């Protein structure tokens, strides 16, 4: 059952990640315009690379990292921004290379975001998911204590999902929690 839970979390977090856009700055929350060079958003929109930055990823991973994937998409009434960062080196102590996945979603209404968060929380409670207070309107956290940290948080019609996969000796749970809370406060 724990394997199924981990699978659900990974698929959820990575469902649309895969359309690499290189190192372009991406924006969200406006009208997507397709161009020959990729996706562009209205100039007034927030810069999504700033919502979860390389500096944030490096604080959490506890070491230098680089952007490994980034995409923005719109599906029905939902806009999704995803990015992932991977550590530049393998951790000598654990033998793992840390990485972090980030997803920001904006729904047309808060009830849709709430229903989705509630569904995933309920699905993962039997495997250890716990409610988190003081982060947005609602949030939950899950870990196996050794390999991953995951948080899903909602504020109004916006939601984030953040997952460290391959926790290493340098990964900081405190930084993970602090940065997740800061991101949600800015939404």
CA angle 74, 79, 84 (to 5 degrees): 100
Q: What's the whole-model pTM score?
A: 0.73
Q: 13-68: per-residue pLDDT in tens? A: 444 333 333 333 333 333 333 322 233 333 323 456 678 899 999 999 999 999 99
Phi-psi category of 18—alpha, beta or left, where left has phi over 0 and alpha has psi -120 to 50?
left
Q: Kindly list the domain boundaries of the chain, sorted by start residue.
A: 2-186
Share of residues in the chain with pLDDT > 90 (%): 58
Helix (H, G, I), strand (E, B) or coil at 6: helix
Give the pLDDT confidence score for residue 157 in this predicted structure. 93
Burial of 54 by CB count in 10 Å (0-12 exposed, 13-18 middle, 19+ buried)?
middle
């Amino acid at each position: 059952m724990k394997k199924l839970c981990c699978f659900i979390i990974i698929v959820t977090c990575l469902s649309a990640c895969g359309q690499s856009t290189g190192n372009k700055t991406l924006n969200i929350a406006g009208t997507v315009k397709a161009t020959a060079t990729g996706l562009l958003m209205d100039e007034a929109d927030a810069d999504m690379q700033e919502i979860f930055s390389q500096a944030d990823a490096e604080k959490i991973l506890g070491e230098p990292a680089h952007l490994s994937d980034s995409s923005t998409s719109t599906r029905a009434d939902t806009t999704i921004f995803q990015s992932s960062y991977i550590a530049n080196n393998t951790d000598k102590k654990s033998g793992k290379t840390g990485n972090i996945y980030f997803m920001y979603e904006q729904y047309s209404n808060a009830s849709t975001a709430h229903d989705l968060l509630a569904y995933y929380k309920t699905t993962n409670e039997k495997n250890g998911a716990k409610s988190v207070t003081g982060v947005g309107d609602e949030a939950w956290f899950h870990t196996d204590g050794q390999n991953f940290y995951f948080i899903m948080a909602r504020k109004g019609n916006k939601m984030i999902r953040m997952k460290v996969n391959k926790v290493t000796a340098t990964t900081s749970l405190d930084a993970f929690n602090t940065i997740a809370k800061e991101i949600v406060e800015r939404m």
